[in-house]
Each structure stands twice: as C-alpha cells, then as structure tokens.
C-alpha cells in the first residue's frame, strides 16, 4: 500500500526506510524555529547539551529566531528574554534572527521570507508551526527542549502520525473564508478530534482557495489537536513560492490512500462561524450569534491566523468610510513589516485610522494576552486569532469570540457581533 504524504516526508528525513503510522523515529530536520517565549529555555537546554564538548549549533542557516510574542519589548523581563535570543544569535552566527523592524509574527514571516518549501521537515517551538503544511511541508510544533536538542543535533524524535482526510465540496457562501471552514471543522470534530494526527485538506474548495486562506486553515489544525495540517502543493502554491523566490522544490505524488478516516464536508450549508468562549470548538453560525446581540469592547484583527494582507484588505473594505463604534477599541495588527508596508501603500492604514481603529506594530501581542490590547474582567472581544480559552486575552473573567476578519471588522463598527451582510 502507498505511504501517506507524511510517511514519505518522514521516511526521507530518517534512517528507517520501512515505516508506518505509530512508529517512533529520529528525523533530520530542515529548519527549526523559536520565539522570545520558547527560545530562552531552548538556548539553556542547548548550552547544557554542548557543555564540555567542542560543539556549536548544527547549522546556523537552519535556525530561525523570531522575537515576536512580547515585542516591541513590553517590559524589562521580556526585554531580558529577547536579549537572550539576540546574544545567542550573535554568538553562533544565526542567519535568520529578526530584530524589531524586521520581525513579524513568525508564521506570517517565514513563508513570506521564502524560508519554507514543500516537502521540508520543519519543527518550531510554537504550536502554530503547523501553518506551513499549507505549503506542503511537514511542519509541527514542539517544546523548548526539543528545539534545544534540534539546535545541537539537527534532529528531533517524532511518532509517525496517521492522517485524517477532509474533503470540502460544494460552493462557498458569501463571506465564508478559510477561517470559517476550519472553525466549522473543529466544531464538528472537537478540540481533540485530530490529536496526534495530520489533517489533510482536500477537495474542490481547497483547490480554489487562496494561499492566505490555506495558511489560516493549516494554522488552526493544532486547535483540533493535530500534529499538522497539510495541503498538497499545486499551481496556487507554486505561484506563491515563486513570488517569494522559491522555484525549485521537491514534491511527492498525491496518491495517498491510507487514511485513518475520510470526512466529507458540504460547504453549501456553511455560514461564517463564530467560536464562542471558551473553546475553539464551541462554534455557531453567525446568523445565530447575531441574534444573541453580543456587545463587544474590543475587536482584534491580526495574528498568525489572520494577519495577512488579504485579511487586512477585507477589513478595510468593510471599514471604508465608516466609524468604529464609540465604545469599541479596534486593534489592527499587520503580521509582518512587509504586510504593514503593503497596507500603507494600498491605503488600508488610512482607512483604518480614519475609521478610528489603531494600527499596532507586528506582534502576537493580545492574541495570547501578552500586551497591546489586554481585556479587563467582564470585557468581551471579537478576534481573528486562534484561541478563546479562559483568560487567553487577559483577565480570566474576560471573553474571546473567534471569527473571520469580515465579521470582526463589522462587529467593530456595530458594537456587537454582526454579519457583514448587515452593513
């Protein structure tokens, strides 16, 4: 029987040539990444491993450090953590270290910088590393110790995952985006519905989906517990890769047959989705949520899930010549400096500022309750981010509702969670 795509990529990165789902293997990695929250511990681990040896990092061109979570440094403690990354990058001549001004939200930044190619094996000490499955890489989130070991040895242990195939058929309704498809899917299978498995996204809908929407879908595979999301590279992938300077890459034939399970999702009946507190699986269609008239204090448009230029264009289209509701704080966070500059050139920043929103520098910021938009007890936010766990964006008695950028923008104008159809 044919191997799944994950089995093929893993096989070609390890010594064991005969493998199947469930096996534990040591793989050679193509890239590894860490951020200001996870890398300080990884650096400590690295130094402990190489102590007393002549060893350096396994390859300074394959380690990526992105201080993106609490930057620009929110306080002295976070400044100290970022300095650990900077000092390490200097000491070991790390090629891909990004200082503020160049740094963006890692999962927006790395593809844009041309650092991710199909069929690569990538680990990142950040759970949303699964985003790069959108480019056909096998890419998964790990912890700091994993990263520390990877920086020393260029290796990581993995269990070969099984694959769940999701086939999206039918037609997309108006305002339905990749965010809605993935929220709907998580709502269907639950926050542990894909634990340890790969979520492979297929079908005519995916074939026609933009790269930005594909990134969004793979990004949130972790919210169903998955090891990674995956989409087979096609013309849309190739075009994107070409735009970031990648023209040669390895691909595998799409002849996966060994699925753990195949799930077909009929998109004809899917409306834009809202994930209500406090789980990403707690989803309802917007028509139902709009009737609940849920007033909001804050709207966040950004993050590794929805901080790309396409997301900002949608928000700007809705906000143009409109005003943010007087009792709402609307925070727009472009994912990278390039996205921010593009938004400036396209006039989107002007639209946001005229509407009464503020534009933040690229940062993970409020998504994880870091900074740049923390919620008080009792406050509510609509957010294009990825998690709505209790206390995620601030006080434990605050609430986060997850949505696509169009709904977040509309809700910012209306003051309550509303469909763009109501504009």
Partner 1 sequence: MKGKVIKYPQENINTDLIIPARYLVDINPQFLAEHCMEDLDMEFHKNKNNLQATILVSGSNFGCGSSREQAPIALKATGIELIIAPSFARIFFRNAINIGLPILQFSDIDAFNSGDLLDIDFGKGVIENITTSKSYSFSKFPAFLQKIIKVHGLINFAREQIANSEEGS
Going by the DSSP 8-state scheme, the letter that residue 244 receives in this structure is T
CB of 45 or CB of 319, closer to partner 1? 45
Pattern of binders to partner 1 over 100-129, x per CB under 8 A?
Answer: ------------------------xxxx-x
CB of 221 or CB of 408, closer to partner 1? 221
**Residues 37/78, Cβ–Cβ less than 8 Å:** no
Instruction: Kindly state whether residue 399 participates in binding partner 1, applying the rule CB under 8 A.
Output: no
Pattern of binders to partner 1 over 208-227, x per CB under 8 A?
Answer: -----------------x-x
Minimum CB separation of residue 247 from partner 1 in Å reads 32
Q: Which of 96, 107, 325, 392 binds partner 1 (CB under 8 A)?
A: 392
Spell out where 218-282 has E strands.
228-230, 261-266, 273-275
Q: Which of 353, 376, 390, 423 binds partner 1 (CB under 8 A)?
A: 390
The two beta strands, 273-275 and 283-285, are antiparallel
Instruction: Kindly state whether residue 196 participates in binding partner 1, applying the rule CB under 8 A.
Output: yes
- Residues from 274 through 293 that contact partner 1 (CB under 8 A): 279
Query: What would the DSSP string read from start to end of 184-198?
Result: HHHHHH-TTTTTTSE
Instruction: Please tell me the distance from the alpha carbon of residue 116 to that of residue 180, in angstroms, as a whole number.
Output: 25
Instruction: Kindly state whether residue 356 participates in binding partner 1, applying the rule CB under 8 A.
Output: no
Minimum CB separation of residue 15 from partner 1 in Å reads 13
**Residues 221/140, Cβ–Cβ less than 8 Å:** no
- Residues from 132 through 161 that contact partner 1 (CB under 8 A): 141-146, 148-149, 152-153, 157
**Residues 410/318, Cβ–Cβ less than 8 Å:** yes
Q: Tally Cβ neighbours within 10 Å of residue 147.
A: 27
Q: Which of 60, 203, 391, 415 binds partner 1 (CB under 8 A)?
A: 391
**Residues 288/282, Cβ–Cβ less than 8 Å:** no
Among 362, 408, 363, 403, smallest CA distance to 220 is for 403
Interface residues with partner 1 (CB under 8 A)? Answer: 24, 37-38, 40-41, 44-45, 48-49, 53, 55, 69-70, 75, 77-78, 81, 124-127, 129, 141-146, 148-149, 152-153, 157, 191-192, 195-196, 225, 227, 279, 368-370, 387, 389-392, 396
């Amino acid at each position: 029987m044919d191997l799944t795509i994950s089995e093929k990529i893993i096989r070609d990165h390890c010594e064991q040539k005969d493998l199947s789902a469930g096996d534990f293997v040591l793989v050679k990695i193509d890239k590894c990444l860490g951020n200001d929250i996870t890398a300080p511990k990884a650096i400590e681990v690295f130094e402990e491993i190489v102590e007393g040896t002549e060893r350096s990092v396994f390859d300074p061109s394959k380690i990526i450090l992105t201080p993106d979570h609490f930057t620009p440094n929110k306080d002295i403690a976070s400044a100290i953590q970022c300095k650990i990354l900077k000092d390490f990058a200097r000491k070991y001549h790390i090629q891909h270290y990004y200082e503020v001004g160049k740094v963006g939200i890692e999962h927006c930044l790395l593809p844009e910088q041309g650092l991710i190619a199909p069929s690569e094996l990538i680990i990142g000490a950040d759970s949303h590393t699964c985003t790069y499955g959108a480019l056909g890489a096998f890419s998964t989130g790990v912890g700091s110790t994993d990263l520390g070991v990877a920086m020393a040895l260029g290796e990581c242990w993995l269990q070969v995952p099984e694959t769940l195939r999701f086939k999206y058929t039918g037609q997309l309704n108006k305002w339905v985006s990749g965010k809605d498809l993935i929220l709907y899917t998580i709502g269907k299978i639950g926050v542990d519905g894909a634990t340890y498995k790969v979520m492979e996204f297929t079908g005519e809908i995916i074939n026609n989906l933009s790269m930005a929407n594909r990134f969004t879908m793979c990004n949130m595979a972790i919210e169903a517990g998955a090891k990674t999301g995956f989409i087979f590279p096609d013309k849309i992938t190739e075009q994107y890769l070409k735009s970031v300077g990648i023209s040669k890459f390895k691909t595998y034939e799409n002849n996966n047959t060994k699925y753990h399970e195949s799930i077909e999702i009929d998109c004809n009946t899917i409306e834009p989705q809202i994930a209500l507190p406090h789980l990403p699986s707690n989803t309802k269609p917007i028509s139902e949520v709009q009737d609940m008239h849920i007033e909001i204090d804050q709207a966040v448009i950004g993050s590794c899930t929805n901080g790309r230029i396409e997301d900002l264009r949608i928000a700007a289209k809705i906000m143009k010549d409109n005003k943010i509701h007087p009792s709402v704080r609307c925070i727009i966070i472009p994912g990278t400096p390039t996205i921010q500059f593009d938004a400036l050139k396209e006039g989107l920043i002007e639209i946001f500022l005229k509407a009464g929103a503020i534009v933040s520098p690229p940062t993970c910021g409020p998504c994880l309750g870091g900074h740049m938009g923390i919620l008080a007890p009792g406050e509510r936010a609509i957010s294009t981010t990825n998690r709505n766990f209790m206390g995620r964006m601030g006080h434990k008695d605050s609430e986060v509702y997850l949505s696509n950028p169009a709904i977040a923008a509309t809700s910012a104008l209306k003051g309550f969670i509303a469909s763009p159809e109501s504009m």
